[in-house]
């Protein structure tokens, strides 16, 4: 049986981290918290003394792709409970601003109304003047919330106004020429 490249070596478990796999559920507990994920029936996850081994239960293209996917999921879970993940968003534009009040992010994005977005449980959001820092232990949740906020006002190519990721480069267009 040909294994995906990611599944050939076991995933090492750092100190102070506990991984338990039973009945199609993987639990990862670490210093920052605990994450739980159900595993697809075509993939098996075993915890061995060398580390976590993810392997397909039968030979097919679908099981090979799922195996690689679950290797990444387990690595992200282990990384999240040990270090955590952060995304930083920047806002650019006159009158564009944000603030965190209670469990919501209040955004002024040039619309006729303010936009309120609820912060999911398990995420920490800090708003500075033009930067919004989203952090948490679940990589998918951090990335999805950052993408949802960015989708409210994507950066436009003429003046660069909108919400962008830190380090994201916006390709600028020239605009109209004066006659």
Residue 172 lies in a domain: no
Q: Please indicate, yes or no, whether the overall pTM of this predicted structure exceeds 0.85.
A: yes
Q: What average pLDDT is seen over the chain?
A: 91
Least Cα distance to 116 among 126, 102, 130 occurs for 102
Could you read off the pLDDT of 45-84 as tens digits, one per residue? 999 989 999 988 888 888 888 999 999 999 999 999 999 9
Question: pLDDT confidence of 5, banded at 50, 70, 90?
Answer: confident
Q: Which pLDDT value is given to residue 125?
A: 95
Query: What is the tens place of the pLDDT at every residue in 152-174?
Result: 999 999 988 999 999 988 898 98
- Give the per-residue pLDDT at 175: 83
Tell me what pLDDT residue 1 has: 65
Q: In this structure, what DSSP letter does residue 87 have?
A: E
The domain in which residue 18 lies consists of: 5-82
Q: Is pLDDT above 80 for 6?
A: no
Of residues 17, 61, 20, the one with CA closest to residue 37: 20
**CATH classification at residue 150:** 3.90.930.12
Query: Angle CA(22)–CA(23)–CA(26) in degrees, nearest 5?
Result: 50
If asked whether residues 113 and 68 sit together in one domain, one would say no
pLDDT at 179 (0 to 100) = 66
What beta strand segments (E) does the chain contain?
18-22, 25-30, 33-38, 43-48, 51-56, 85-92, 97-101, 104-108, 115-118, 123-127, 131-136, 162-165
* 128 and 92 in a common domain: yes
């Amino acid at each position: 049986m040909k294994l995906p490249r990611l599944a050939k070596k076991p995933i090492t478990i750092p100190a102070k981290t506990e991984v338990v796999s039973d009945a199609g559920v993987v639990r990862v507990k670490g210093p920052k918290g605990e994450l739980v994920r159900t595993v697809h029936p075509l993939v098996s996850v075993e915890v061995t003394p060398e580390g976590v081994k993810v392997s397909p239960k039968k030979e097919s293209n679908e099981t090979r792709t799922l195996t690689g996917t679950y290797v990444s999921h387990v690595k992200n879970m282990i990384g999240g409970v040990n270090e955590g993940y952060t995304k930083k968003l920047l806002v650019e534009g006159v009158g564009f601003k944000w603030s965190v009040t209670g469990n919501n992010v209040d955004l002024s994005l040039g619309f006729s109304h303010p936009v309120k977005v609820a912060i999911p449980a398990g995420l920490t959001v800090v708003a500075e003047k033009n930067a919004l820092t989203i952090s948490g232990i679940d990589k998918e949740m951090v990335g999805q919330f950052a993408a949802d906020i960015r989708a409210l006002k994507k950066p436009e190519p003429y003046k660069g106004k909108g919400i962008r990721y830190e380090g994201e480069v916006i390709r600028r267009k020239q605009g109209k020429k004066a006659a």
